[in-house]
Amino acid sequence: MQGHPTAFELLMPDLTVSATYEIRPPAAHIIRDDTEALAVAYQVAELLREGAAERDRNRAVPADIVDAFSNSGLWGITVPRAYGGAQVSYATLARVIAIVSAADPSLGQIPQNHYCLLEDIRLQGTPQQQRYFYDLVLQGHRFANALSETGGKTVQDIRTRLVAEGDGYRIDGRKGYCTGSLYAHWLGVLALDEQDRAQLAFVQRGSAGLVIVDDWSSMGQRTTSSGTVLLDGLRVPAFNLFPSYRSYESPTLAGPFAQLTTAAIDAGIGRAALDDTIAFVREHARPWIDAQVDKASEDPLTIVQVGSLEIRQEAAEALLERAGQALDAARPAPNEDNVALASIAVAKAKVLTTEAAIEASNRLFELGGTRSSLTRHNFDRHWRNARVHTLHDPVRWKYHLVGNWALNGIKPPRHDWN
């Protein structure tokens, strides 16, 4: 006799099998220092730039591309030196993310939460946990997030539950915006325990009760695989559990770190849009008749606009670097004051990277003219990517955060978005 449907089946009755993607055994290079990390980032960017427009158009990324990215060693550059990693500076990490994202911001985003999960391991893991999971990362294993949920009143309204069961734990719930989940070897799942404290559980792909749904349908960041993850009776050993709630009980860089990586992606999107604008104006655009010049690149009003975009982009990149340096300064001994300064610095960078990316991706069409809007160029991906990724958290609240600090000395609240 057929039994009653499980909670899992009621959530998504037609999707009880994980989306398929070729997950191969990793074989990552180990990067040794900041200089090598930047050099490899430029090499990877060259690889990812080829075919980025086509991948966006088709919503598909070949496994060879993802493997080449993670096997480059870039996904392991934040592993501490004590565990065999490069432990690059936060400023270097931001540059690496921006460089890769200028080539393909969707692929630039898929390791973003991977880096954030490694920061969670650094902050709350035991030495045994750190050794085990850092070793996986250096081998080339990819981590993705199952953190956010889509149905609550705010982004902090988490319904997924973690309960003790036998010698481990059980997780039940539904997650959204699970960036990189299709490509991941492991997922970091956020759930509330029986005391309503946030716990982070690392779960291996293919675990019973874990289903990855490749249903991301946004107009931008189309190949990030930021879809749904379903959890039904998912068993987790105690060893795989990290008390992430502790990261906000005292001053840590968890929030500023997450924001820095987000701003770096936006910086990359802005740079990509501006680079394509300059190339198109030089090679294809026509000057306006009243300019009375031979080439669009000689049109004085176009020159002014490109100059303005370049200044804004460089200002955004400079603030991003300064924000990374603020995190680097706080890392040895984080406290109320230096963590607040790091949050403020990242908020300033987030404002400019957001606005520069949106403006550059919009101006591309104004300066390139009608022919720049032809579908064969797929330049609209820059605006779509900028518009979607900058929705991660409202930049208007960054203005409030900075203003409240400048006027009233109010430190930013501690959470993932500050």
DSSP codes, 162-230? EEEETTEEEEEEEEEEETTGGG-SEEEEEEE-TTS-EEEEEEETT-TTEEEE-----SSSTTS--EEEE
In-domain check, residue 69: yes
pLDDT (0 to 100) of residue 12: 47
Residue 346 scores a pLDDT above 50:
yes
User: Is 414 part of a structural domain of the chain?
Assistant: no
Q: Which two tokens stand for residue 400?
A: 């409030």
Please name the amino acid found at residue 106.
Answer: S
231 belongs to a structural domain: no
Q: Are strands 168-178 and 186-192 parallel, antiparallel or unpaired?
A: unpaired
Is 255 in the same domain as 396?
A: yes
Judgement on whether residues 266 and 137 belong to the same structural domain of the protein: no
Same domain, 254 and 385: yes
Q: Is the pLDDT confidence value at 9 over 90?
A: no
What is the predicted pLDDT for the residue at 174? 97
Looking at the structure, tell me whether residues 260 and 404 fall in a common domain: yes
What is the average per-residue pLDDT within 394-410? 97
Task: Provide the pLDDT confidence category of residue 16 given band limits of 50, 70 and 90.
Answer: low
b/e 278-302 (16+ beta carbons within 10 angstroms → b): bebbeeebebeeebeeeebbebeeb
Instruction: Give how many domains the chain has, as a whole number.
Output: 2
Task: Show which of 80, 112, 142 is a domain's final residue.
Answer: 142
Q: pTM for this one? A: 0.95
Residue 34 lies in a domain: yes
- Average pLDDT value for residue range 288-313: 97
Note the Cα 144 to chain centre separation in Å. Answer: 10
Domain that holds residue 306: 250-408
Instruction: Please check whether residues 259 and 379 belong to one and the same domain.
Output: yes
pLDDT at 156 (0 to 100): 84
Query: Do residues 133 and 254 both lie within one domain?
Result: no
Q: Is residue 282 in a domain? A: yes
Residue 49 predicted with pLDDT over 60 = yes
CATH number of the domain enclosing 399: 1.20.140.10
The last residue of one of the domains, among 79, 108, 142, is 142
Cα three-residue angle 56-372-382, rounded to 5 degrees: 35
Phi, psi dihedrals of residue 2, rounded to the nearest 5°: -75, 135
Band of pLDDT at residue 33, cut at 50, 70 and 90: very high
Mean pLDDT of the chain: 95
Q: Are residues 270 and 127 in the same domain?
A: no
Indicate the angle between helix axes 254-283 and 90-103, nearest 10 degrees: 40
Residue 223 lies in a domain: no
In a domain, 189, yes or no: no
Percentage of residues in the chain having pLDDT higher than 90: 94
